[in-house]
């Protein structure tokens, strides 16, 4: 059978980028046009001046900043036609290049060396300048990418950059549809000011409802498209996890293979968790959109109500009640999605805290994580209270509806035929009162009242837990503030001493460096000026000066020629110091550090002077100054830190998993509602058996009847107490593990997870 192609098929089509030629940055391009006599063509060269100024030579080597090509007159005219198709303003800007007739063309074929501009160099130069101006104007009008692509065509390697990514293109198109639906709804809401009669306003309400349904439709398609990749990853990860678990359970594998499979199993589990987290975040974003639209619609309708009387507004009352009901349902779904995200955040904080002991983190990290847990728990309490509030609103709306129906049935007037016997009339009246419909409505009202009572009890319990958590959070913040103040007060002295030690160490290093530099300069001077070099300290210099003062002037004049004195050091002298003095203090300036006197004695006649003994070696560098005396160490920080007051609650003493306490919508279930329901399906726990509502079994001697009655009543689950011997073996060994264990216990008591055993509230299913 021959298959016919669909006319609306997109096979073979490609999506081109809408902003293909948009330029985020302006570039200044310079054109140089010249006539090539050899090729008889125009040589066009383009330089990116902006890029050449901004980039270095190494960066320019990687980027292309210049282009060049040869064009004949006909080629330039073809390029001009293409540019005119982009912008018609270029049609009159192209220079009137000379046209060559057929005879000249044949002559040029016979004699290719002959130039068309032979003898007209000035005319060729004029055309070149005109072409340069034309290309510069074309860059301003058409854009850099288009002109460069026409002039210097690139290879087909970069063709993909012109096409849209199909996934991104689909995402953008759906996002634009959502934006258009929002804009349409906004415009209809603005039309309420124009409606001056109730008839026109009701028509506007109908248009508004259609616009909202369109928004829900396109938003569902958009967010379902965003969810699809994460759904695929989740399903793929689950399949791989099952395959790996089967392989580990049934196959005979070596230790290395088992280790590799376990590592791969952990990777796939992490991918599945990440996919679930992304699905939860996208679900939250969807319900934010619907809640925002419904809240705006309800606010506008309540504003319209002020301009009409009670009788005129009676026709619009059902729609307002329906809007309130829809807003409560969507808000309820939004809060449930947020609750899942906050529970995930709490689990992440708990896992991080449990892994702190292995990584050897500090106690400050434990305190920070504990504070983050309290903040997340407080947000969770707010979300749970909002959930109960919306559930209460839904129950109240249903109760009002049922009570109105009961009232209508009771006030309903039924006309009967005349009865001869009054007893027959009484029987018919009793039969009408005890009708089945009224009984069903009364039973539903009683059930809703019971559920509302559970909701009120749950709200009071959550408020109490929230107050306790806030108190614990406040105490923890106060303790952290006191610890910071205590640390600053008691550790400031130690910090100052550490700073002084660090400064002294730096000064010693600086002195050593200066000494090495001075010695190096002396060695260099000794190599340049060989002679008798004697290094004298300040003490030896003063002693020699005194000896010279004590000698008579005759002794000085008796010497044939005095020794010449050359001092390399500064003319300034130091203060008198003992012979055993050390290097001057580091607080002196660099000039004083370099004041080491050097005296060189040179005989008057080096050739006639008797041989002198070799100069003594330079004295070793003076010893380092004694270290700064350290005082007694400061008292260590308090190891046993004050723990915050533990939360006490009389409601429960044991902990178990948190019951979800969620409801699902049977009516008007959308695809995103199904997504949320599937996310919640994995969190459903076993329900505690209500012993009060169970019928009392009759005493029977048959054992089978007693077993069946026990099965019908259900089995009461009890928390398993840990073996004290096992618990004693897991005692924390260090302060970090003790702090982590204490913080986990406080976090557990601050949350409502450990108190759910006393919570008998079970969510029902909402009927719109």
Tokens matching residue 680: 């919640």
Evaluate whether residue 211 is within a structural domain.
yes
Which of 37, 39, 44 lies closest to 68, judged by CA? Answer: 44
Residues whose CB is less than 8 angstroms from the CB of residue 77 and which lie 6 or more positions away in sequence, other chains included: 94, 97
Tokens matching residue 450: 């019971």
Evaluate whether residue 676 is within a structural domain.
no
* Same domain? 176 vs 153: no
CATH number for position 72: 3.30.1520
* Same domain? 377 vs 276: yes
> Which run of H or E residues covers position 487?
helix 436-528
Helical packing angle, 255-305 and 166-190, nearest 10°:
20
Domain-ending residue, one of 140, 161, 182: 161
| DSSP conformation letters of 578-616 | -TT--SPPTTS-HHHHT---EEEEE-S-TTTSPPPPPPP
Domain-ending residue, one of 141, 161, 181: 161
CA angle in degrees (0–180, nearest 5) for 284-287-290: 155
Evaluate whether residue 248 is within a structural domain.
yes
Evaluate whether residue 413 is within a structural domain.
no
Contacts 24+ apart (CB under 8 A), 26-34: 26/50, 27/51, 27/144, 29/136, 29/139, 29/144, 31/131, 31/132, 31/135, 31/136, 32/132, 33/128, 33/129, 33/131, 33/132, 33/135, 34/128
Evaluate whether residue 608 is within a structural domain.
no
Give the burial string for 417-456 (b: 16+ CB within 10 Å, else e): eeeeeeeeeeeeeeeeeeeeeeeebeebbeebeebbebbe
Q: What is the pLDDT of residue 652?
A: 38
* Same domain? 204 vs 294: yes
Q: What is the pLDDT of residue 35?
A: 85
Which of 761, 3, 14, 17 lies closest to 456, judged by CA? Answer: 761
* Same domain? 66 vs 139: yes
* Same domain? 182 vs 157: no
- Rounded distance between C-alpha atoms, residue 449 and residue 392, angstroms: 10
Contact 353, 744 (CB under 8 A): yes
Q: What is the pLDDT of residue 318?
A: 86
Q: What is the pLDDT of residue 196?
A: 84
Q: What is the pLDDT of residue 300?
A: 93
Residues whose CB is less than 8 angstroms from the CB of residue 326 and which lie 6 or more positions away in sequence, other chains included: 294
Q: What is the pLDDT of residue 633?
A: 39
Question: What are the average pLDDT values for consecutive 10-residue runs of the chain, which has 768 residues?
Answer: 51 73 70 84 83 56 73 87 86 78 53 57 84 88 82 66 80 92 93 88 93 94 93 93 92 90 92 92 93 93 89 88 89 91 89 77 80 89 91 86 80 69 59 69 89 91 90 86 78 81 92 91 84 53 57 43 38 40 42 46 43 51 47 40 39 39 41 77 53 50 61 57 46 69 79 50 45
Measured between its terminal Cα atoms, the distance across the chain in Å is 51
Side by side, which strands form the sheet with 598-602?
532-535, 598-602, 564-567
| DSSP conformation letters of 154-204 | --GGGGGGGBPPHHHHHHHHHHHHHHHHHHHHHHHHHGGGT--SHHHHHHH
Evaluate whether residue 230 is within a structural domain.
yes
CB atoms within 10 A of CB 677: 15
Counted domains in the chain:
2
Q: What is the pLDDT of residue 632?
A: 40
| DSSP conformation letters of 510-529 | HHHHHHHHHHHHHHHHHHHS
Q: What is the pLDDT of residue 571?
A: 39
Beta bridge partner(s), residue 163: 16
Give the burial string for 102-132 (b: 16+ CB within 10 Å, else e): eeeeeeeeeeeeebbeeeeeeebeebbebbb
* Same domain? 154 vs 201: no
Domain-ending residue, one of 384, 414, 429: 384
Q: What is the pLDDT of residue 617?
A: 54
* Same domain? 239 vs 170: yes
* Same domain? 331 vs 182: yes
* Same domain? 141 vs 204: no
The per-residue pLDDT for range 433-451, each reduced to its tens digit, is 556 778 888 888 899 999 9
The burial class, CB within 10 Å (0-12 / 13-18 / 19+), for 502 is exposed
Residue with tokens 């749970």: 384
CA distances from 580 to 94, 543, 584, 623, 625 (A): 95, 15, 12, 10, 12
The per-residue pLDDT for range 461-480, each reduced to its tens digit, is 999 988 988 888 888 888 88
* Same domain? 271 vs 179: yes
Residue with tokens 């009224």: 438
CA distances from 525 to 226, 518, 540, 599, 613 (A): 79, 11, 22, 12, 21
* Same domain? 179 vs 135: no
Contact 330, 289 (CB under 8 A): no
* Same domain? 173 vs 76: no
Evaluate whether residue 727 is within a structural domain.
no
Evaluate whether residue 545 is within a structural domain.
no
Domain that holds residue 104: 29-161
Q: What is the pLDDT of residue 184?
A: 94
Tokens matching residue 287: 């319900």
Q: What phi and psi, each to the nearest 5 degrees, are found at residue 641? A: -80, 150
> Which run of H or E residues covers position 96?
none
């Amino acid at each position: 059978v021959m298959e016919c192609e669909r006319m609306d098929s997109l096979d073979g089509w490609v999506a081109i980028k809408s902003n293909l030629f948009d330029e985020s940055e302006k570039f200044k391009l310079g054109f140089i046009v010249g006539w090539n006599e050899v090729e008889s063509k125009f040589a066009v060269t383009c330089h990116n001046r902006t890029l050449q100024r901004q980039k270095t030579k190494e960066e320019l080597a990687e980027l292309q900043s210049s282009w060049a090509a040869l064009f004949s007159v006909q080629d330039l005219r073809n390029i001009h036609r293409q540019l005119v198709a982009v912008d018609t303003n270029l049609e009159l800007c192209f220079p009137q290049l000379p046209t060559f007739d057929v005879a000249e063309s044949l002559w040029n074929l016979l004699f290719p060396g002959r130039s068309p501009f032979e003898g007209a160099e000035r005319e060729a130069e004029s055309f070149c300048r005109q072409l340069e101006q034309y290309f510069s104007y074309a860059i301003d009008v058409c854009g850099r990418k288009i002109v460069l692509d026409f002039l210097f065509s690139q290879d087909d390697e970069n063709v993909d950059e012109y096409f849209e990514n199909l996934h991104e293109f689909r995402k953008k198109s759906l996002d634009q549809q959502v934006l258009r639906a929002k804009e349409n709804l906004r415009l209809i809401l603005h039309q309420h000011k124009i409606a001056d009669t109730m008839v026109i306003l009701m028509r506007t309400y109908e248009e508004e409802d259609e616009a909202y349904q369109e928004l829900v439709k396109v938003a569902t398609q958009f967010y379902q498209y965003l969810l699809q990749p994460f759904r695929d990853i989740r399903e793929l990860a689950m399949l791989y996890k099952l395959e790996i678990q089967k392989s580990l359970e049934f196959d005979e594998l070596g230790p290395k293979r088992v280790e590799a499979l376990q590592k791969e199993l952990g990777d796939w589990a992490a991918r599945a968790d990440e996919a679930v987290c992304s699905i939860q975040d996208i679900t939250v974003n969807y319900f934010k959109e619907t809640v925002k639209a419904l809240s705006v619609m309800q606010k506008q309708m309540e504003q319209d109500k002020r301009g009409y009387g009670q009788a005129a507004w009676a026709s619009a009352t059902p729609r307002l009640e329906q809007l309130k009901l829809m807003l409560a349902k969507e808000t309820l779904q939004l809060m449930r999605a947020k609750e899942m995200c906050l529970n995930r955040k709490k689990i992440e904080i708990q896992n991080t805290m449990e892994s702190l002991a292995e990584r050897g983190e500090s106690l400050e990290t434990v305190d920070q994580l504990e504070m983050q847990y309290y903040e997340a728990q407080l947000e969770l309490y707010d979300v749970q209270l909002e959930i109960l509030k919306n559930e209460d609103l839904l129950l109240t709306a249903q109760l009002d509806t049922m009570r109105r129906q009961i009232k209508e049935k009771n006030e309903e007037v039924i006309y009967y035929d005349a009865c001869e016997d009054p007893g027959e009339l009484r029987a018919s009246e009793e039969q009408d009162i005890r009708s089945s419909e009224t009984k069903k409505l009364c039973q539903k009202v009683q059930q809703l009242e019971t559920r509302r009572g559970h909701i009120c009890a749950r709200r009071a319990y959550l408020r109490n837990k929230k107050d306790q958590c806030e108190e614990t959070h406040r105490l923890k913040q106060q303790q952290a503030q006191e610890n910071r103040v205590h640390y600053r007060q008691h550790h400031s002295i130690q910090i100052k001493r550490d700073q002084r030690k660090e400064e002294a160490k730096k000064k010693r290093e600086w002195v050593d460096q200066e000494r090495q530099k001075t010695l190096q300069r002396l060695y260099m001077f000794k190599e340049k000026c060989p002679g008798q070099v004697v290094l004298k300290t300040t003490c030896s210099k003063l002693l020699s000066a005194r000896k010279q003062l004590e000698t008579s002037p005759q002794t000085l004049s008796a010497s044939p020629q005095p020794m010449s004195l050359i001092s390399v050091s500064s003319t300034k002298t130091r203060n008198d110091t003992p012979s055993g003095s050390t290097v001057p203090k580091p607080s002196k300036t660099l000039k004083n550090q370099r004041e080491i006197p050097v005296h060189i004695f040179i005989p008057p006649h080096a050739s006639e002077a008797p041989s002198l003994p070799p100069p003594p070696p330079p004295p070793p560098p003076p010893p380092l100054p004694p270290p700064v005396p350290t005082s007694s160490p400061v008292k260590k920080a308090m190891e046993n830190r004050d723990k915050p007051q533990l939360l006490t609650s009389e409601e429960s003493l044991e902990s178990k998993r948190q019951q979800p306490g969620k409801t699902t919508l049977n009516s008007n279930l959308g695809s995103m509602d199904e997504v949320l329901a599937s996310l919640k399906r994995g969190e459903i726990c076993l329900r505690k058996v209500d012993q009060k509502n169970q019928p009392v079994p009759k005493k029977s001697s048959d054992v089978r009847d007693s077993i069946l009655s026990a099965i019908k009543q259900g089995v009461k689950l009890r928390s398993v107490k840990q073996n004290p011997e096992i618990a004693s073996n897991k005692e924390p060994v260090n302060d970090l593990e003790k702090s982590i264990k204490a913080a986990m216990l406080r976090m557990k008591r601050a949350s409502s997870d450990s108190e759910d055993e006393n919570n008998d509230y079970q969510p029902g299913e909402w009927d719109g």
